Amino acid sequence: MFMNLAISTLIMSPILDLMFTYSINLDTFSTKWTIFICLIEILTNLRNIKINKVKIFFVIFILIFYVSSSFFLKQHGVTTIAIILWCLLPLFIVDFKYDVEKILRYCLYYATLLVFSFNRIMTETQVPTIRFSQVELYVSYALVIIGIALIFHFVYYRNKATKLVKVLYLLQTFYLISYIGRIARGSLLVIIVSIFVCMIGRYKGEERIKTQMRLFLFIFLAIILFIFVSENIEKIIYIK
């Protein structure tokens, strides 16, 4: 019933955590909400869950990893909630039927919460560097989730977009432009690769190969240019 919403909630959970924390100071609400809505869908669709050797092996591997990390290696960064949220829930949810367009659209709906939290997120998670005021690494990758949802929905489903979704395109494009210069280089690369994948997916056969080569060359040059500028930004700004 709420499968598409459950999947979009799971996808957006990192940025939802930030948005709820910096808007209404509920730093654990998004995790509880994500687990709650996913468990409802799993429990109401138990008949559709398929248990096979691959899943059993995966669960055993995750449990061994968790036990060895937490109790033997004393790596407390691996929490029970993280294992449930990022390993066990997705393992069962992928068995259910879902609509990609709705998942991406719900991601854009969730992203409107940035209106209430964007400034605080960018200010309070800022890490001053030599080159520019970059946000924390986990914030960079959380923001990128919204950017990817925007890119994929616009490229593949913009013909189905309602007026509301088109407004969300403009809103999230504004935020993308606002944070793209302050996220980590790795997360920026994720945005570039997402555009690359979207453009390739639109073509078939020989045309896809030609597009791959053109985009690969463009992205390669763009990455080289970005690295050069980021490493020499002070010299460029203060050149006399």
Query: Does pTM top 0.75 for this prediction?
Result: yes
| Least confident span in 138-142, 145-149, 204-208, 215-219 | 204-208
More confident residue, 170 or 232: 170
Q: What's the gap between Cα 228 and its chain centre?
A: 27
Secondary structure class of 117 (helix, strand, coil) = coil
Rounded mean pLDDT of 123-141?
A: 78
Q: What is the pLDDT of residue 108?
A: 94
Under a CB-based contact definition with an 8 Å cutoff, are residues 135 and 18 in contact? no
- Identity of residue 200: I
DSSP letters, 39-76, are: HHHHHHTGGG----HHHHHHHHHHHHHHHIIIIIS--T
| Least confident span in 80-84, 103-107, 232-236 | 232-236
Q: How far apart are CA 48 and CA 44, in angstroms?
A: 9
117, pLDDT greater than 80: yes
Secondary structure class of 200 (helix, strand, coil) = helix
Q: What percent of the chain has pLDDT over 70?
A: 78
240, pLDDT greater than 60: no
Q: What is the pLDDT of residue 131?
A: 55
Q: Is 236 exposed, middle or buried (0-12, 13-18, 19+ CB in 10 A)?
A: exposed
pLDDT in tens, 6-62: 889 888 988 988 888 888 877 777 788 888 888 888 888 777 777 888 888 888 888
Q: How far apart are CA 142 and CA 117, in angstroms?
A: 13
Q: What is the pLDDT of residue 220?
A: 67
pLDDT in tens, 185-238: 788 888 888 887 777 766 565 655 565 566 666 666 666 666 665 555 444 444
